[in-house]
Every structure is written in structure tokens, then in C-alpha cells.
Chain A
Amino acid sequence: QQQVKQSPQSLIVQKGGISIINCAYENTAFDYFPWYQQFPGKGPALLIAIRPDVSEKKEGRFTISFNKSAKQFSLHIMDSQPGDSATYFCAAKEGGGGNKLTFGTGTQLKVEL
């Protein structure tokens, strides 16, 4: 079963627009919610993360919004640029042994000129 559900599968945004990617989770034991960015031929790289006791975190053009009661979180990319074109994965970390990350299925973002 998919513990972290991510949508949309793909997204096309015009340069300067806002990109929004959504994720939902079931396991209330998750204690960190990071986002990873992956360019073709590369491994994913940490972009930004949030704890469940915080409703919003912003780093530059990237913002995570977190709704604990709805068990949902989203990534907003403001002023989207062609260089943001990549695959984005939401993830959730289990507390306890292993510190394992469970990933969403990914969103392929294309920012057009």
C-alpha cells in the first residue's frame, strides 16, 4: 500500500508561475516531511523539509504548507523557472529505528518559457 500519496504525476507551468505539488499520508508516526528534487541521470537531493508541528516553512522560492489535521502537505514553487524542471518527491520519515524515508510516487515538473 502507498503510505504517501502524491499528485499530480506531471505538471506543466509557465515561467514565472506557481507550481503546486500535493501529498497525503496515513501514518501518524511520521515525524519529518522532506521534499527531494531529482534531475535526469542524478540521484534525488534534499530540497526542503518540515516538522508536523509547523504549518509552513519557506526557503527562497520554495514553501511547504502542512495541514496536520488533514494529513496533507504541499510544495509551492513561486516564480517557477526553467531550471526548476525536474522530478519532485515528497517523503515522510518514520520515528524510531532506521529513520527510514517513505517516498511518494513523484511529480515530473516542466517549466516552459
Chain B
Amino acid sequence: NAGVTQTPKFRVLKTGQSMTLLCAQDMNHEYMYWYRQDPGMGLRLIHYSVGEGTTAKGEVPDGYNVSRLKKQNFLLGLESAAPSQTSVYFCASRWLNYGYTFGSGTRLTVV
């Protein structure tokens, strides 16, 4: 099925560890986004990309890095995980001016 696929779905990290979250879309969309969702805070934009090879900072970029080497993939990296990065992470791609297709999320716990 066409859509946005996120891996992994769940992960527990120890403080200081690193990891990469993978987002893949098969809809040939140019724009992709990484959000984090925290209780009472809604969805906050971490980084985004307007095309292959481009990335830009969002509202809460500190502690994260991204790469968009291929159009269909958007990777989110945590170099040194902190408990404050415990969250649910959503990737999305844009198919309409205001229409995003979201993945099903990655639940990350940093202990």
C-alpha cells in the first residue's frame, strides 16, 4: 500500500546512545517532515526537507540531525540521546498544500 513507513515502531535507548529513525515514502512527494508529539504540546516540527539533498530546521531542531540522500527516504538521527527526547516521532510527506500523509509513528523512550 502507498504511504509513509517508519521504522522502528518502538525503541528504548540509554542516555548517550545514538540511533537513526527511518522514514520511507513511495508517493514521489518532494516535501517531507519530522515531528515529535508530546502530551499537551501537540506536534512540533523538528526538521523538514523540500527535496532530495535539502534539509532545514523546524521549531525544535536541537539534538537532532537529518539527511535526505534519496527522495523517498528521510532519516532522523539522535547523536546522544537524552531523556527529554522521549517522545513519539512522526514522519510525514506533503501531497497537498496543507495535506500531509503521516506514518504510524516511532515511540522512543530514553532512560
Contact = CB atoms under 8 A, between A and B. Distances in A.
B42 A101 contact: no
A101 B35 CA distance: 10
A106 B100 CA distance: 17
B98 A101 contact: yes
A41 to B, nearest CB: 7
A96 B5 CA distance: 27
Interface string B36-52: 00001111110010100
Nearest to A50: B98
Interface of B: 4, 31, 33, 35, 40-45, 48, 50, 56, 58-59, 90, 92, 94, 96-100, 102-105
17 contacts: A9-B40, A32-B97, A32-B98, A41-B105, A43-B4, A43-B90, A43-B104, A43-B105, A45-B102, A49-B98, A93-B97, A99-B97, A100-B33, A101-B45, A105-B40, A105-B41, A105-B42
A103 B4 CA distance: 20
Most buried by B among A32, A46, A99, A102: A99
Contacts of A100: 33, 45, 48, 58
